[in-house]
Amino acid sequence: MAHPSQLGFQDAAAPIMEELLHFHDHTLMIVFLISTLVLYTITIMMSTKLTNTNSMDAQEVEMIWTILPAIIMIVIALPSLRILYLMDEMDTPHITIKSTGHQWYWSYEFSDYDLLMFDSYMTPNDSLTTGHFRLLEVDNRLVTPTDSPVRMLISADDVLHSWTIPSLGVKTDAIPGRLNQNTFITSRPGVYYGQCSEMCGANHSFMPIVMESVPLSDFETWNLSMLEST
């Protein structure tokens, strides 16, 4: 959950998000070094003595600004490709959940459990209780087991939506007529909030996502209670 005046990312709750945070810091340091080098070059070029000397040939300058950016791109691309591979590959998910975006709510269907499907609407302000967040709480939370690979199949029923939970590093577009896939593993129990991050209409900001990660035994208990209520 984000905090007031927070400048950085939310705390990572999944291994993929931890990798993304490390890659962000890695890239930010490269950008800082480039900015420092450019500022230093501009500063020394303002010196009349330097501009009137032949201490650096034009050929050498062209070699530097051709080879150095190529090296920088390689240093950035290699860890980026690694993370893309890790985000896409999961051979044996323990559970598969289909999420469908509607105007303006989400519906969930557990493919591994017959008849387990439900809708998730935003909780109105007059129904909020202590500890709930305005515009972020829902009536039916999505519950998943901790430390278990989860595969999300994401689609939409009407217009473009986007299923997004920042602390998990998950952001996948929900497209009508198309089934997109995302996988994640939660590394600790907790409640994680997200919102539709695609401009899907007038109530775009009123279709939040709340996922609760619990131990496997608690997940089975929740699963049985949901099946009994349907």
CATH fold of 95-229 reads Immunoglobulin-like (2.60.40)
Domain ranges of the chain: 15-88, 95-229
Q: When comparing pLDDT for 201 and 45, which is higher?
A: 201
Assess whether pLDDT exceeds 60 at residue 79. yes
Q: Region 164-171: what's the mean pLDDT? A: 91
> Helix-strand-coil percent breakdown of the chain, rounded to 5?
40, 25, 35
Residue 176 is predicted with a pLDDT of 93
Over residues 62-66, mean pLDDT: 81
CA atoms within 13 A on the CB side of 108: 25
Q: What is the pLDDT of residue 50?
A: 57
> In whole numbers, what is the pLDDT of the chain averaged over residues?
87
Helix (H, G, I), strand (E, B) or coil at 60: helix
**What digits encode the pLDDT tens for the residues 115-130?**
788 999 999 988 888 8
Average pLDDT over residues 41-64: 68
Q: Kindly tell me if the per-residue pLDDT of 59 is higher than 80.
A: no
CB atoms within 10 A of CB 181: 13
Q: What pLDDT is stored for residue 35 in this prediction? A: 93
| pLDDT level of residue 210 (50, 70, 90 thresholds) | very high
The pLDDT of residue 58 is above 80? no
Name the residue among 83, 76, 82, 81 with its Cα closest to residue 30: 76
**Average pLDDT of the segment spanning 133-139:** 90
For residue 188, give the nearest of 170, 206, 212, 157 by alpha carbon: 212
pLDDT bracket for residue 52 (50, 70, 90): low
pLDDT of residue 57: 59
